[in-house]
């Protein structure tokens, strides 16, 4: 793992919302320093791990530019268990398209938008939507929010020579995925989130840590990277317990009892909505956050939805991380012009930037073909003349200037894998009323 540096800035902002970026798979394992069966059964299972040591695929521009209007489709959760993520992401895309068109469009033509629902992993909605978007001529598809949903359609999109641009996927699995250089994301990889989470834990002085993680690429990858970063922070490996559980289990008593036996001074829970059951059981045995234990969460559970799912006061002092940038009230006000009912803003900035980057890449390529856009995406985010809006960047690109677009989510500096080389995370904390506030930001990067 490359050496990273940490920079922390102070701020106090509003609450963040629950975010799910991979879907659980049923699996179980053994306890102790490795894995544990979520149902208390005796069968063992290998946790899913992925390598991030590779040379990522790169797209190659075609010989003949395509100058038809840029068509952007969305693959965002309008229905299913992730539907609460949809409104800010949809608003971010709509705002970006409106502002691109107001500035002159792409290749002097308005961008066309085709909305689409991703559903979740319990349905085939994503495949049906992708078929419709491809038939409609989409050059860029923004989505999905869930890593597991994206993995269901990534091959189809890449094989069609279309850009897939997720605003919320965080799984490490995409770093080396054979995507023909057509997949990108504005959300930082969980390799970075593990550093932010580990920093929180280490700064609080923890010396003995238990990690409970759901068994899917998101959970196991984040857990593995967190262990590595905790060890790098000086916590011995024999003082770190990692338990991998089946998120679909009826009970998590066995796992929580194993944690209590281990007697940690800090517990990290890497999970989704099942985290409510885990924390409730932790409180029953006296090791919950409101009982004085240092308890940490991540983007999959650090949301007000978790606070509504457990007894009053149970989450008091629980901290955690979620990809979050201080986008400011001005951007939020702009979002409300397209969706006045908007309350949460998570991943709105990432969705907005995905569209702006794609539009600038098309202008730089002088083509709206998906492969041509993909071949130019990384370069418009780094190493050139800085610009921060489409209206500011467009004339530079048209004049042949190499640009470095810094978006509403900050400096992007895409790596060869088509993702930010730095990540900004909210340092979130639950209060005595089970609601979240943002207690500053943690920025990690190369």
16 against 85, higher pLDDT: 85
Report the run of H or E that residue 295 belongs to, with start and end. Answer: strand 294-297
Number of Cβ within 10 Å of residue 203's Cβ equals: 13
pLDDT band at 49 (very low <50, low <70, confident <90, very high): low
DSSP 8-class letter at 83: G
| 41 has a pLDDT exceeding 80 | no
pLDDT > 90 fraction of the chain, expressed in percent and rounded: 75
Bridge-partner residues for 319, per DSSP? Answer: 296, 429
| 5 has a pLDDT exceeding 70 | no
- Residue 222 burial (C-beta neighbours within 10 Å; 0-12, 13-18, 19+): buried
Predicted local distance difference test score (pLDDT) of residue 328: 85
| 8 has a pLDDT exceeding 70 | no
Closest CA to 165 of 398, 353, 383: 353
Bridge-partner residues for 428, per DSSP? Answer: 320, 438
Predicted local distance difference test score (pLDDT) of residue 2: 32
Q: Which two tokens stand for residue 203?
A: 């700064």
Closest CA to 300 of 410, 417, 213: 213
- Residue-wise pLDDT for 411-425, tens only, equals 999 999 999 988 889
pTM of the predicted structure, to 2 decimals? 0.79
Domains and CATH numbers, the chain: 71-188+326-423 (3.40.50.2300), 191-324+424-444 (3.40.50.2300)
Predicted local distance difference test score (pLDDT) of residue 225: 93
- Looking at the chain, the number of H-run helices and the number of E-run strands are 12, 15
- Angle at which helix 328-338 crosses helix 86-102, to 10 degrees, equals 90
| 38 has a pLDDT exceeding 70 | no
| 191 has a pLDDT exceeding 50 | yes
Predicted local distance difference test score (pLDDT) of residue 36: 42
Predicted local distance difference test score (pLDDT) of residue 1: 30
For residues 292 and 307, give the distance between their C-alpha atoms in angstroms, rounded to a whole number.
17
- Residue-wise pLDDT for 321-330, tens only, equals 988 888 889 9
pLDDT band at 112 (very low <50, low <70, confident <90, very high): very high
DSSP 8-class letter at 394: H
Provide the greatest CA pair distance for the chain: 66
């Amino acid at each position: 793992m490359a050496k990273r540096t940490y920079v922390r800035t102070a701020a106090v902002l509003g609450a963040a919302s629950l975010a799910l970026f991979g879907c659980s798979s049923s699996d179980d394992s053994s306890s102790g320093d490795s894995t544990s069966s979520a149902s208390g059964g005796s069968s063992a299972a290998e946790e899913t791990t992925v390598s991030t040591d590779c040379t990522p695929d790169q797209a190659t521009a075609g010989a003949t530019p395509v100058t038809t209007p840029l068509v952007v489709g969305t693959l965002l959760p309008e229905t299913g268990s992730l539907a609460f993520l949809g409104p800010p992401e949809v608003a971010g895309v709509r705002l970006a398209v409106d502002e691109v068109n107001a500035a002159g469009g792409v290749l002097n033509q308005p961008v066309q938008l085709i909305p689409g629902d991703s559903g979740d992993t319990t349905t085939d909605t994503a495949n049906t939507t992708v078929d419709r978007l491809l038939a409609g001529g989409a050059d860029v598809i923004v989505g999905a929010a869930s890593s597991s949903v994206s993995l269901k359609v990534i091959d189809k999109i890449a094989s069609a020579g279309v850009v897939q641009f997720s605003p919320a996927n965080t799984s490490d699995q995409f770093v080396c995925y054979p995507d023909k250089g057509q997949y990108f994301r504005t959300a930082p990889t969980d390799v970075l989130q593990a550093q932010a989470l580990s920093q929180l834990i280490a700064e609080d002085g923890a010396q003995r840590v238990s990690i409970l993680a759901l068994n899917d690429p998101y959970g196991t990858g984040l857990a593995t990277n967190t262990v590595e970063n905790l060890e790098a922070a000086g916590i011995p490996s024999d003082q770190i317990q990692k338990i991998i559980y089946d998120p679909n289990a009826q009970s998590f008593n066995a796992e929580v009892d194993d944690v209590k036996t281990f007697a940690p001074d800090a517990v990290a829970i890497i999970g989704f909505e099942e985290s409510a059951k885990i924390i409730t059981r932790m409180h029953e045995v006296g090791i919950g956050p409101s009982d004085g234990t240092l308890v940490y969460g991540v983007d999959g559970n650090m949301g007000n939805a978790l606070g509504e799912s457990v007894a009053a006061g149970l989450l008091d002092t629980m901290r955690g991380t979620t990809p979050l940038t201080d986008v400011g009230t001005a951007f939020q006000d702009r979002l409300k012009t397209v969706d006045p009912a908007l309350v949460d803003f998570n991943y709105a900035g990432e969705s907005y930037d995905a569209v702006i980057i794609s539009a600038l890449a098309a202008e730089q390529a002088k083509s709206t073909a998906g492969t041509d856009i993909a071949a130019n995406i990384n370069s418009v985010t780094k190493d050139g003349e800085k610009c921060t809006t489409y209206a500011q960047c467009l004339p530079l690109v048209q004049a042949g200037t190499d640009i470095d677009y810094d978006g509403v989510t900050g400096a992007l500096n895409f790596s060869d894998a088509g993702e930010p080389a730095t990540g900004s995370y909210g340092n979130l904390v639950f209060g005595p009323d089970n609601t979240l506030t943002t207690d500053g930001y943690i920025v990690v990067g190369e």
